[in-house]
Chains A and B, each alone.
Chain A
Amino acid sequence: MTVDRYAELHCVSNFSFLRGASHPGELVYQAHNLGYSALALTDECSMAGVVRALEAAEDCGLQLIVGAEFRCPNDLHLVLLAPSQRAYAQICQLITKGRIDSAKGTYQLARGDLEKDLSECLALWVAPRNARPSEARWLREFFPDRGWIAVPMLRRPDDSEHLAAMQRLGQSFGLPLVASGDVHMHIESRRALQDTMTAIRQGCTVRDAGHRLFPNGERHLRPRHVLAELYPRELLEETLRIAERCKFSLRSLQYHYPNEIVPAGRTATQHLRDLTELGIRRRWPKGEPASVRATIEKELALIERKHYEHFFLTVHEITEWARSELADDGGRKKPILCQGRGSAANSIVCYALGITEVNPEDISVLFERFLSDERDEPPDIDVDFEHERREEVIQHVFRKYGRARAAIAATVITYQPRSAIREVGKALGLTEDVVGRLAKSHAWWDNWERLSANIQAMGMHVDDIVMRRLCTLVKDLLNFPRHLSQHVGGFVIAEEPISELVPIENAAMPDRTIIQWDKNDLEELGLLKVDVLALGMLTAMRKTFELLETAGTGPTAMDQIARGDEATYDMICRADTIGVFQIESRAQMSMLPRLKPRTYYDLVIEIAIVRPGPIKGGMVHPYLQRRSMRDEDIPYASDALRPVLAKTRGVPIFQEQVMQIAIVAASFTPGEADQLRRAMGAWQRSGKMSMYRDKLMSGMLANGYTPEFAEQIYKQIEGFGEYGFPESHSASFALLTYFSSWLKCHRPAAFIAGLINSQPMGFYQPSQLLEQAKRQGVKVLPVDVTVSDYDCTLEPDEHGNHAIRLGMRLVKGLRREEAMSVVAARASAPFTSVEDVAYRAGLKSRAAKALAQSGGFRSLSEHRNHAFWSALGIEHLPGALAANAAREPAPALPVPTEWEEVQRDYRQMGLSTGRHPMAVLRPKLRASGISTRSELDRMRNGRTVRVGGLVTHLQHPQTANGVIFASLEDETGINNIVFWPGVFEAYRDRILQSNFMVVTGEVQSLESVVHVVAMAVEDYSHWVRTLPRKSRDFH
Chain B
Amino acid sequence: MLWLCITLPQLPLEALQCEQSERPTVVTVLEGNVRSVVCCNPAAERVGLKPAMNFTTALAILPEVIAMERRLSAEQAALERLATWAYQFSGTVIVGELFLDLQRARSTAVWLEIGASLRLFGGFRKLIEQLEAELRKLSYSYQLGIAPTLEGSALLARTGVRVAITSVEALRARIGSVSVRWLNLDPWIPEQLQTVGVRTVGMLVALPRDGVAKRFGPEVCNYLDRLMGSAADPRPTYRLPPQYHARFEFEAEVHNTEALLFPLRRMLREFVGFLRARDTGVQKFTLRFIHRDAVATVLTIGLSMPDRNSERFLALARERLEHTALAAAPVALELSAEEFAMPTGMHIDMLSGATEQSEELGHTIDRLVARLGEAQVHGVKAVAEHRPENSWATADPQHARPHLDFPDRPLWLLPEPKPIQLSGMPVLTGAERIESGWWDGGDVRRDYFIARTQQGAALWIFKDLNDGSWHLHGFWS
A residues at B contact (CB < 8 Å): 154-159, 188, 191-192, 195, 206-207, 210-213, 215-218, 428-429, 433, 437, 440-441, 444, 454, 456-461, 465, 469, 849, 853, 865-866, 868-869, 872-873, 875, 888-889, 891-896, 900, 904, 988-989, 992-993
Contacts and interface: CB of A to CB of B under 8 A. Distances in A.
Contacts of A891: 206-208, 211
B379 interface: no
Nearest to A157: B432
B65 interface: yes
Nearest to A207: B439
Contacts of B47: 989
Contact of B433 (A155, A192, A206, A428): A155
Given A157-B432, A873-B214, A988-B60, A894 B440 contact: no
B407 A156 contact: yes
A615 B35 CA distance: 40
B384 interface: yes
8 contacts: A191-B438, A211-B385, A215-B435, A216-B386, A218-B433, A891-B206, A900-B197, A993-B57
B433 A989 contact: no
B258 interface: no
Interface string B61-76: 1111111010000000
B61 A458 contact: no
Contact of A889 (B208, B404, B438): B208
A441 B67 CA distance: 14
A216 B405 CA distance: 16
A440 B386 CA distance: 35
Q: 7 nearest interchain CB pairs?
A: A210-B384, A155-B433, A989-B61, A459-B66, A157-B432, A216-B435, A457-B63
Contacts of B161: none
B362 interface: no
Interface string B433-477: 111101111000101100000000000000000000000000000
A873 B438 contact: no
Given A210-B383, A218-B433, A865-B196, A157 B407 contact: yes
Contact of A195 (B62, B434, B438): B438
A191 B208 contact: no
B221 to A, nearest CB: 14
B210 interface: yes
A866 B198 CA distance: 11
B214 A215 contact: no
Contacts of B66: 459
A770 B62 CA distance: 36
Contacts of B400: none
A872 B192 contact: yes
Given A191-B438, A440-B56, A469-B439, A454 B196 contact: no
> A-side binding surface: helix, strand, loop or mixed?
helix
A429 B30 CA distance: 19
B60 A207 contact: no
> B-side binding surface: helix, strand, loop or mixed?
mixed
A992 B60 contact: yes
Contacts of B173: none
Contacts of B215: 869, 872-873
A993 B386 CA distance: 51
Contact of B430 (A157, A469, A869): A157
Contact of A872 (B63, B196, B438, B448): B196
Contacts of A988: 60-61
Given A873-B215, A893-B197, 11 more contacts: A157-B432, A157-B448, A210-B383, A211-B404, A218-B433, A866-B196, A868-B195, A893-B196, A894-B203, A989-B47, A989-B48
B431 interface: yes
A888 B439 contact: no
A456 B433 CA distance: 38
B24 to A, nearest CB: 9
Contact of A211 (B192, B197, B386, B408): B386
Contacts of B438: 191-192, 195, 469
Nearest to A461: B252
Contacts of A213: 386, 436
Nearest to B199: A894
B59 interface: yes
A868 B65 contact: no
Contacts of B408: 157
A230 to B, nearest CB: 10
Given A868-B195, A875-B214, A459 B431 contact: no
Contacts of A892: 206
Contacts of B203: 894
Nearest to B253: A461
Contacts of A904: 195
Contacts of A157: 407-408, 430-432, 448
Given A872-B196, A872-B215, A215 B210 contact: no
A206 B435 contact: no
A458 B383 contact: no
Contacts of A853: 195
Contacts of A210: 383-385
A215 B207 contact: no
Interface in B181-209: 192, 195-198, 203, 206-208
Contacts of A218: 433, 435
B440 A211 contact: no
Listed residue (B59, B407, B430, B448) with the most chain A CB atoms within 10 angstroms of its CB: B59
Contact of B65 (A156, A195, A207, A459): A459
Nearest to B438: A192
Interface string B410-445: 000000000000000000001111111011110001
A869 B61 contact: no
A751 B222 CA distance: 54
A215 B436 contact: yes
A657 to B, nearest CB: 43
B439 A155 contact: no
A551 B326 CA distance: 85
A1033 to B, nearest CB: 10
A441 B59 contact: yes
Listed residue (B64, B252, B439) with the most chain A CB atoms within 10 angstroms of its CB: B439
B431 to A, nearest CB: 6
Contacts of B30: 433
Contacts of A437: 35, 59
Contacts of B69: 433
Contacts of B383: 210
Given A888-B208, A889-B208, A891-B208, A216 B407 contact: no
Contacts of B59: 437, 441, 458
A195 B439 contact: yes
A873 B62 CA distance: 44
A297 B70 CA distance: 77
Contacts of B385: 210-211
Contacts of A873: 211, 214-215
Interface string B60-94: 11111111010000000000000000000000000
Nearest to A446: B63
B381 to A, nearest CB: 13
Contacts of A895: 197
A1 B445 CA distance: 26
Contacts of A456: 64
B187 to A, nearest CB: 16
A891 B214 CA distance: 14
Contacts of A461: 252
Contacts of B197: 865, 893-896, 900
A210 B383 CA distance: 8
A869 B439 contact: no
A354 to B, nearest CB: 49
B435 A191 contact: yes
B89 to A, nearest CB: 39
A873 B216 CA distance: 9
A212 B386 CA distance: 10
A469 B440 CA distance: 10
Given A192-B438, A216-B436, A888-B208, A155 B431 contact: yes
